[in-house]
Amino acid sequence: MTEKNFCLRKWLNCDSEDPEFQILSYEEIIDDLKEDEEETETGDVCQEKCARACTHRRCSRRCGQKCSRAACTQRCPRRLPCGHRCRGLCGERCPDICKPCRPDDFPVDFLGDEFDDDALFIVLEDCGHIMEFENMEHLMNSESESVSLRACPFCRKPIINTPRYKDLVNHRFKTDINPIKERVYGNIQRNLEAKKSLLDKIAAFREDHKEIYADIRYSDWKRAYDKLLGFIKTNIFNSLIQLDMHFVYLNILEILSDIYKKFTTAKLTEFQSNLAERNSMICCVLVNNIKKISQQQQMDIGNEMKRMNSIVLLSKLLSQEIYIINKDQPNVIQMLKIAKEEVLGYGIYKESSAMDALKKFQNEIKASNIVTKEERDLIVKAIGAKAGQWYKCPNGHFYSIGQCGGAMEIGKCVECKVPIGGQNHALLSSNKHAPEKVNSNFSAYSKEANNLENFM
């Protein structure tokens, strides 16, 4: 981003001995600034002699440079058509005011009080309002908490076209405004690099997320992606802040796709409609705010994506065998109800409360699956298995082997379907003896058992 210097000669009729100011509109000034930027990029600035001059002093520098003379503070020596002396400043445009002739039109301060008889005035070329000189000097030279151009106190129009303050305006652009504009809007080189990075990411994006793109239930995701792609292609110039916003947009679509993959890869079915509904809601926000997503919208979207992750977690819990076995337990039913209210409710999603409810629900499922010692003894007695004939699969599910208790064939765990048992009285290495079932110290068919007459 190049510095902008205001060319005074463009806004003055410099050929006149007594210059009359030719005022440009705000739009014309902006056009000139664009031309000045192009000239500055090629090293060209206005080389005409500076037109700032009065009877007391003259600027010796070029128009595009900082003036060598301070703005004159003497009273204008001219006489108005009515014969009274001008109340303006030497070398500046004469304000069309006369207190003796037109007292009702003479400026007053912001409280409505009259100015002193020796007060001088200046015309703001940007809007035509007349300001008291000392007040204007204080306004233009005072420190400001905000980074912006000074504006007319009456109409708030930026003061950029008043020749007296040309150097102040240029300094403001150079030290404050241009650096911020470069950070926000970037420069041509940075923007091109950012846009290339964005296009490279988009090129592989559709292929990386082809599953959700092709799923008709998630058509709003496809619509949001296509809308972003079309917007980027049709807008040749993008500011840095706009490009950053596109990356935010893509990141949101990527997270939504990752949530979709978690759900479909695990072959879950519970709450599928809830998940698709919230995906659609987020994508509609993206489509309707293609240029910019506000901070509040980003926070809301982030919150809803956390909710979607919780929906996937809850769906996983409901798909587990341990839940299916214990789903009719009163405590399990109650904790599931609480978890649904926290995760699926239509209020603002509270992550800490939702995760706490999911954790309690998960713990309740496990607790409901715990068998007491008395219940375990009854089960063992009913089955008729002896001590040492109980084993467990790699996931901790119990099973028994009858007759001698030695493993003679390979089967599948009824709960998790992993291989269990063994062959030729040899237990699979992934399976283990379960001494906790009936307090046996070793399996029924083992070296220790074969050396004893009875089993513990």
CA distance 391 to 328: 28
- Asked whether 279 and 263 are in contact (CB, 8 A), the reply is no
Q: Is residue 361 part of a domain?
A: no
pLDDT, tens digit (0-9, with 9 covering 90-100), for 326-363? 888 889 999 999 999 999 988 899 999 999 999 999 98
Q: 298, 319, 340: which is the final residue of a domain?
A: 319
Amino acid, single-letter form, for residue 193: E
Using the 8-state DSSP alphabet, how is residue 146 labeled?
S
* Same domain, yes or no: 171 and 195: no
pLDDT, tens digit (0-9, with 9 covering 90-100), for 1-27? 444 444 444 433 333 343 333 334 444
Q: Is residue 387 part of a domain?
A: yes
* Same domain, yes or no: 111 and 243: no
* Same domain, yes or no: 177 and 193: no
CA distance 59 to 52: 6
* Same domain, yes or no: 137 and 247: no
* Same domain, yes or no: 232 and 120: no
For 164, counting Cβ atoms within 10 Å of its Cβ (0-12 exposed, 13-18 middle, 19+ buried), the class is buried
Amino acid, single-letter form, for residue 242: Q
Q: Is residue 332 part of a domain?
A: no
Q: Is residue 383 part of a domain?
A: yes
Q: Which two tokens stand for residue 259?
A: 């949530």
CA distance 337 to 245: 39
Nearest to 178 by CA among 156, 151, 149, 152: 149
What pTM did the predictor assign?
A: 0.51
pLDDT, tens digit (0-9, with 9 covering 90-100), for 204-249? 888 889 999 999 999 999 999 999 888 887 876 667 677 788 889 9
Task: Say if residue 193's pLDDT is above 70.
Answer: yes
* Same domain, yes or no: 168 and 193: no
**Which phi-psi region, left, alpha or beta, contains residue 91 (left: φ > 0; alpha: ψ -120 to 50)?**
left
Using the 8-state DSSP alphabet, how is residue 414 labeled?
T
* Same domain, yes or no: 106 and 197: no
Q: 170, 185, 200: which is the final residue of a domain?
A: 185
* Same domain, yes or no: 171 and 223: no
Strands 432-433 and 390-392: antiparallel
Q: 319, 351, 384: which is the final residue of a domain?
A: 319
* Same domain, yes or no: 194 and 179: no
What does the pLDDT read at residue 98? 92
pLDDT, tens digit (0-9, with 9 covering 90-100), for 54-92? 878 788 888 777 887 778 888 998 999 999 999 999 888
* Same domain, yes or no: 83 and 205: no
Q: Is residue 150 part of a domain?
A: yes
Estimate the crossing angle of helix 240-265 against helix 178-185, to 10 degrees: 30
Task: Say if residue 114's pLDDT is above 50.
Answer: yes
Q: Is residue 264 part of a domain?
A: yes
Give me the number of domains the chain comprises: 3
Q: Which two tokens stand for residue 295?
A: 């901070």
**Segments forming the whole domain that contains residue 267:** 188-319
- CA distances for 279 relative to 81, 109, 251, 350, angstroms: 74, 59, 14, 18
* Same domain, yes or no: 286 and 247: yes
Q: Is residue 15 part of a domain?
A: yes
- CA distances for 201 relative to 110, 239, 259, 428, angstroms: 57, 18, 19, 48
What does the pLDDT read at residue 11? 39
* Same domain, yes or no: 129 and 203: no
Q: Which two tokens stand for residue 7?
A: 């060319």
Q: Is residue 141 part of a domain?
A: yes
